Structure 1
Amino acid sequence: MEMKWEGVMPAVTTKFTRTDTLDLEMFEVNINAQLNAGVSGIILGGTLGEASTLTDEEKNTLIQETVRMVNGMVPVVINIAEQTTKGAIAAAHKAEIFGASGLMMLPPMRYKANDLETVTYFKAVAKSTDLSIMVYNNPVDYGIMVTLDMFEELLSINNIQAVKESTRDISNITRMKNRFGDRLKILTGVDTLGLESILMGADGWVAGLVCAFPAETVAIYKLAKAGRIKEALAIYRWFLPLLELDITPQLVQNIKLAEVATGLGTEIVRAPRLPLSGEERKRVLKIIEEGVKTRPKPTQI
């Protein structure tokens, strides 16, 4: 399926049963909600997907089942977060075999590669596959900044086509647009900069709270792109306290708790993660409950 790096692409959570197996039934409930809301793609295996806790067999199952569930409606994108070039190439090959349309790629994990090593890593994986690639640029969390000069080199490879822009520097979108135009598609990766990034020219939004609130997330994107800024802003202002749940170390627990409130998931996480408890649980629940209570009506979306 042709990969278009635009629109809202949820980084979906992985659902588990109480016996710590994949909960594919609830997972499909969420995927269908995303599709019904009009998302442009599904991204598997990111931080929200608890990919670091999944076995290879579970990852294979998730890819194949998601491809089956979407049934060609939208592309399926696989996140690659590997420690070695060899491992990343193998993961890309597996994604291609199982029907993925694109890859979201982090720099090498654990080892803090220098600029040359990082560029060489991305190029090697890109040359090994026909899949379209979005580079995940998140120096805040992963310690490696992919600079504009590095992107200049990377864009010599045709299937490196997009960036998940998570530097938290909103002006970086303008820098990229000025330098690369439409050659590099830009998707914001920070929920609390979603609308701002779209207004600055981002082509899409890799979203987290969309897992619990798909219609509202897609509405903000579509309204902003249509120039209906006042309407987009009204929804976004309601949404911001919820979006802030995406920028903490417990984002998985937070978003899964929000999914419970909207009927799109459970709060079961895989150890070492634990469900929220105590005062933090009360704080997050208060935010979610207020958000659900004041949620925009469908006629406002």
Structure 2
Amino acid sequence: MIKWEGVMPALTTKFTSDDQLDLAMFEKNVKAQMEAGVHGIILGGTLGEASTLEPHEKETLIKTALSIVEGKIPVIINIAEQSTKGAVAVAQHAEKVGAQGLMLLPPMRYKATDYETVAYFKAIANSTSLPIMIYNNPVDYKIEVTLDMMEELLECENIQAIKESTRDITNVIRLQNRFGDRLKVFTGVDTLGLESLVIGADGWVAGLVCAYPAETVAIYELVKAGKIEEALQIYKWFMPLLELDISPQLVQNIKLAEVATGIGTENVRAPRLPLQGEERKRVLNVIETAMATRPELPEYKNLKSVV
């Protein structure tokens, strides 16, 4: 059982300089997330460089995360596969090794029809008892999960949440108007984080949280407590950093930010390579400017929610 609400980081995967999993830095980052008050963690997403991970590495990440969080927050694994058979196998294995939830992307590399996409998601959902979040990101993955498709998907009781990344913020309201409490809605776009929460999103699957967990959770908790102006002040400072998330190089960008805050390294897995030249200077300038003006956060833990 997952309480689908709050800030859930799409964690980066930490690598050593010789391209092995860096479990020591992974643990340091997860502990920083928990200290800040995140409500769950998601492994093996786009930010987690999922397409480059071997099955045994995904298993290691799940088991390591479970040992770190000790049941305090749920560990969710993303599924991004090319075949239904492969996706079902990943889902079943994730459940076997202890993952507590799944986030599902549409089929990779094939632009499935609406009918095929629904059939794909249902096949995975029916193969496992784990609770599921559907990831709706037509901008990057070219397949949109429409309201009518979502209606069909909710026939599966374990499909319970959606990561809404269409970039159309009004879709948060459309989803809630249509489905009410039947579906929990998370924003999946960092630069629409505060706005989505203000209009009623249940949570935020965030990216820059990997480097700035406290600032991200503070925005969520302040909004839920009705302290919009305080949340907005942090968000205005945060925006140049949040824009680093909406880029093909989001992994490199966010890993550079993790270096600045001491909870990550710059190591990525090829074909990704560390940023070079003018683009590297630009991103570092954004990070350095933010670090020089990092706000003092109000006491955001244990606020009384008014939402």
TM-score normalised by length of structure 2? 0.97
Q: Helix, strand or coil: the match of 2:35?
A: helix
In 1, distance between residues paired with 2:257 and 2:169? 27
- AA of the residue aligned to 1:42: I
What per-residue deviation string (whole Å, max 9, x for no partner) do you get for residues 6-38 of structure 1?
Answer: 100000001111111010001100000000000
Matched with 1:243 is 242
The equivalences for 1:186-201 within 5 A come to 186-201=185-200
- 2:220 is equivalent to residue 221 of structure 1: yes
Matched-pair contact (CA < 8 Å) for 2:218–2:297: no
Matched with 2:23 is 24
Structure 1 position 299, deviation (Å)? 4.2
In 2, distance between residues paired with 1:269 and 1:143? 25
- 2:147 is equivalent to residue 145 of structure 1: no
Q: Tell me the percent identity.
A: 72
List structure 1 runs of 4+ shifted beyond 3 angstroms.
298-301
Structure 1 position 298, deviation (Å)? 3.8
What per-residue deviation string (whole Å, max 9, x for no partner) do you get for residues 186-243 of structure 1?
Answer: 0000000000000111000000000000000000000001100000000000000000
What per-residue deviation string (whole Å, max 9, x for no partner) do you get for residues 135-159 of structure 1?
Answer: 0000000000100000111111100
Matched with 1:84 is 83
The equivalences for 1:39-188 within 5 A come to 39-188=38-187
In 1, distance between residues paired with 2:18 and 2:266? 13
Matched-pair contact (CA < 8 Å) for 2:38–2:217: yes
Structure 2 unaligned segments of length 5 or more: list them: 301-307
- AA of the residue aligned to 1:53: T
Matched with 2:258 is 259
Q: Helix, strand or coil: the match of 1:128?
A: coil
Matched with 2:231 is 232
In 2, distance between residues paired with 1:144 and 1:270? 26
- AA of the residue aligned to 1:213: Y
- AA of the residue aligned to 1:31: V
- AA of the residue aligned to 2:252: Q
Matched-pair contact (CA < 8 Å) for 2:106–2:143: yes
- AA of the residue aligned to 1:104: M
In 2, distance between residues paired with 1:172 and 1:133? 19
Q: Helix, strand or coil: the match of 1:297?
A: coil
Would you say how many aligned residue pairs link Structure 1 and Structure 2? 300
Structure 1 position 300, deviation (Å)? 6.8
What per-residue deviation string (whole Å, max 9, x for no partner) do you get for residues 162-198 of structure 1?
Answer: 0000000000011111110011100000000000000
The equivalences for 1:10-21 within 5 A come to 10-21=9-20
In 2, distance between residues paired with 1:267 and 1:17? 9
Structure 1 unaligned segments of length 5 or more: list them: none
Q: Helix, strand or coil: the match of 1:104?
A: strand
The equivalences for 1:271-282 within 5 A come to 271-282=270-281
- Provide the aligned C-alpha RMSD in A: 0.8
- 2:249 is equivalent to residue 284 of structure 1: no
Matched with 2:304 is none
Q: Helix, strand or coil: the match of 1:162?
A: strand
- AA of the residue aligned to 1:243: L
In 2, distance between residues paired with 1:162 and 1:92? 17
In 2, distance between residues paired with 1:248 and 1:299? 30
